Amino acid sequence: MKTWLITGCSSGFGRRLAIAAAQRGDQVIATARNVASIEKLAEPFGGRMITLPLDVTDAASAKVAVAKAVETFGGVDVLVNNAGYALFGAIEEGTPEEYRPMFEVNVFGLIETTRAALPVLRRSGGTIVNMSSGAGIEGRGGGGYYHAAKFAVEGISEALASELKPFGIRVLIVEPGPFRTDFLGRSITMAANEMSEYAATSRRHYREANDGNQAGDPDKAVAVIMQAVDADDAPLHLPLGQAAHTIAERKLASFRSDIDAWRDITIATDFDRG
């Protein structure tokens, strides 16, 4: 039996993971910034699940949630950093008032929640699941701020995997493609400033064209995430869905092409060996 602390449980993968973990008999601390949105989530599971408020942008809030997990269940085995949202728009279109809060949640919130949980995880080991995205593998026009945030999650997660291996703590970077959650509804915002100059790369109509038509089944994705958490040989990177794999393969091919094309020129920038 594992004890899960999950952020962003009001919807999407966070909510589904909390339910799936409790259904199989695990203990769950389900959290959300607005705890009223998840209060009824725990009712079917008796004492196996508790719900707590957790604003990931508030370091004190994260510490309180971790302390409550220890008080209630004795510790944390799995931390899931799921809270986040997207901002779409060209880089020139975005404003600090729009993109800074997104980084506060997606990047700095993940950092603060992880830092709050690490003293507990280091004592007994465990798993940190960081929800990235196919957007964390490859950048595209019209979504630069969201790509940047998810690229940051990737870098933080890779560094954590190295730092925490001696403590028996694993890191799992989950990289979903488009899945049929409500992400394209409540979890996406658009830059208010729309510039006609960027019409060719705009993703402003992505939501209307794709919401409800995503290829990915979120329940199947949750089952794979849980399988990876339980596995002894789980990968660091876990792309989910055909689209995410296509993105990863395209990025690897492009990267390899760049490296090969300029290899002789670029490696000649070291000092000459006397």
206 among known catalytic residues? no
Which residues share a beta bridge with 31?
Answer: 52
Q: Which amino acid is at 88?
A: F
Closest to 30 measured CA to CA, from 40, 39, 22, 18: 18
SS (H, E, C) the chain: CCEEEECCCCCHHHHHHHHHHHHCCCEEEEEECCHHHCHHHHHHHHHHEEEEECCCCCHHHHHHHHHHHHHHHCCCCEEEECCCCEEECCCCCCCHHHHHHHHHHHHHHHHHHHHHHHHHHHHHCEEEEEECCHHHCCCCCCCHHHHHHHHHHHHHHHHHHHHHHHHCEEEEEEEECCECCCHHHHCEEECCCCCHHHHHHCCCCHHHHHCCCCCECHHHHHHHHHHHHHCCCCCCEEEECHHHHHHHHHHHHHHHHHHHHCHHHHHHHCCCCC
63 among known catalytic residues? no
User: What's CA 200's distance to the chain center, in Å?
Assistant: 28
251 among known catalytic residues? no
Q: Which one of the listed residues 61, 146, 198, 202 is annotated catalytic?
A: 146
Q: Which amino acid is at 142?
A: G
Q: Which one of the listed residues 132, 133, 157, 202 is annotated catalytic?
A: 132
Q: Which one of the listed residues 2, 150, 198, 202 is annotated catalytic?
A: 150
State the catalytic residues: 132, 146, 150
